[in-house]
Chain A
């Protein structure tokens, strides 16, 4: 088995709060990995450490064989770690097509050009349209991002990450705030992404996680509680007690 992305003894504290505690995880290439855990378990901090938004206090991040611990967000993106954000983070004043064409231009390192217009990059349009199709926005190419529905912006959010030609795609709560229909659409969208793509997904929707994930990691208080297949996680007493059905497992009903 090939490891696409790996952390070794990764740690991060904010003052006295330990957000990530000695996390050593290996994400196998070509699988969909989910990270779950209660609010405040350190999921997003861990993501920020993977993507390069944050630098760890200790430990390492490896992309394949390459140590990327000391690289920033942009450098890691260029090496193939792309991320989406929990809150919509798109270019609101651009259309869907412009968002994706721009992302492709950055990807192909063709933005340091000032003697022609970005609109003259007709060849980037094809790639951008292909991504729009993948994320279900073909009908909204000329819609301003700020005029899209919330779910549409969420889809564009994933599209921008895909435009980076990632080796590893990090999705931070792709269905956060979505209606059931939008969630179903996002699930189909994630399912249809190429099998070669390694994905790490933070998600609260357990049905979605159990449905799409090949492997699940449970974080709690910044540490790895356990890791396994959806069947194993569902069967785990520990997970049931600490996370999935914490209240039900507690006879007193106290939280």
Chain B
């Protein structure tokens, strides 16, 4: 039997190959879905990384929204180049997460869920009302990154999907290494037993805050690419339904496995596409599938496979 880490990475590599093959071989429409899945996967990675330290956020779309609005606002309204706007969006995500985290990570469990939800809804109601970003109507014309320097046109669907798939893979790999670092192992120790980490002399608050901040930066990064993908900025990006969708993706794939978030995002995007083209009440079916996974496979698909087939490293 292979080690669990190896199995997780094997699943990741398999998904990467499948996604790249899909980008090369399939139709425009499928490429578009792959890009959507890859961006949702980055978002799911940000949420699952936070789960490493035992925190499950129900307001993560707020942080995605910060990145999306920073990117969209700076490019469309302030005329920034997409590259500079991307850097600013990530920075905004880090700063907002740091500030919000000072409040939020003092709590855990249901209280953390409520605090993150409340903070995200505050952001949502602001961008929903404020006319700077055209409020509820949303704002179009968001440009994509200019990679003409290396001969890549991201306005081409295939190129864009390959690009975001590679970005997702890079972030996933970086997080795979981060979770086995002393920092990452401390987050895992906090998830297992925060009281004991304190008793050993570790600062649970500081580590949780650091994890929340990093997670916010990644979520904002995903947000900046989500608006590049659709070229459109809308408050719904930051609403609680979006927070729920990414949570569903992580739970289906397997919370605490990282690659599970990617698999879950892919399943969610393609399932949604399939269900919504056949049924009117497709959320009903999605909900049923979600419940079956949550009850039958409480550690998600990846968690189930890894536990079934993998031995502990």
Interface size counted on chain A using CB atoms at 8 A: 37
Q: Is B178 an interface residue (CB 8 A)?
A: yes
Find out whether the CB atom of B198 lies under 8 angstroms from the CB atom of A73.
yes
Chain A residues near B207 (CB, 8 Å)?
111
A92 to B195, CA, bound (A): 13
CA distance A121 to B195 in the complex (A): 24
User: Residues of B contacting A103 with CB < 8 Å?
Assistant: 200
For B197, the chain A residues whose CB sits under 8 A away are: 74, 106
A100 CB, nearest partner CB in chain B, Å: 11
- A92 CA to B191 CA in the complex, in Å? 11
Q: Collect the chain B residues with CB atoms within 8 Å of residue A75's CB.
A: 201
Q: Does B230 contact A (CB under 8 A)?
A: no
B15 smallest CB distance to A (angstroms)? 23
Check if A77 sits within 8 Å of B192, measured CB to CB: no
When each residue 77-104 of chain A gets 1 if its CB lies under 8 Å from chain B and 0 otherwise, what string results? 1100011010001111110000000110
A218 at the interface (CB under 8 A from B): no
* CB interface residues, B 178-199, toward A, < 8 Å: 178, 180-186, 188-189, 192-193, 195-199
Chain A nearest CB from B62 CB (Å) reads 25
**Which residues in B have their C-beta under 8 angstroms from that of A82?**
199-200
Contact status of A77 and B195, CB under 8 A, knowing A106-B186, A115-B181: no
CB of A23 closer than 8 Å to a CB of B = no
Is B204 engaged at the interface, CB distance under 8 Å to the other chain?
yes
Q: Is A91's CB under 8 angstroms from B201's CB? A: no
Is A61 in contact with chain B by the CB < 8 A criterion? no
Q: Which residue of B has the minimal Cβ distance to A98?
A: B185
Q: Report the bound CA distance from A80 to B228 in whole Å.
A: 53
A200 within 8 A of B: no
Question: Which residues from chain B contact A93 at a C-beta distance below 8 Å?
Answer: 188, 192
A114 and B184 contacting across the interface, CB-CB below 8 Å? yes
Contact present for A51 and B192 (CB under 8 Å): no
Minimal beta-carbon separation of A50 from chain B (angstroms): 12
CA distance A81 to B41 in the complex (A): 44
Asked whether any CB of chain B lies closer than 8 Å to the CB of A197, the reply is no
Q: Does A239 make an interface contact (CB < 8 A)?
A: no
The proximity string for A residues 105-128 relative to B, scoring 1 for CB distances below 8 Å and 0 otherwise, is 111001111111111010000000
- State the CA gap A160–B192 with chains docked (Å): 15
Q: Can you name the residue of chain A whose Cβ is closest to the Cβ of B205? A: A74
A164, B178: Cβ atoms under 8 Å?
A: no
A19 within 8 A of B: no
* B185: min CB distance to chain A, Å: 4
Complex alpha-carbon distance, A101 and B312, angstroms: 18
Question: Of the candidates B189, B203, B312, which one forms a contact with A102 in the assembled complex, judged by CB atoms under 8 Å apart?
Answer: B189
**Would you call A74 and B204 a contact (CB within 8 A)?**
yes
A148 to chain B, nearest CB (A): 15
B window 151-203: CB within 8 A of A: 177-178, 180-186, 188-189, 192-193, 195-203
Known: A91-B189, A112-B183, A114-B184; 18 extra A-B contacts, CB below 8 A, are A73-B198, A74-B199, A74-B200, A75-B201, A91-B193, A94-B192, A102-B185, A103-B200, A107-B200, A111-B185, A111-B186, A113-B182, A114-B183, A117-B180, A118-B181, A118-B182, A118-B184, A144-B312
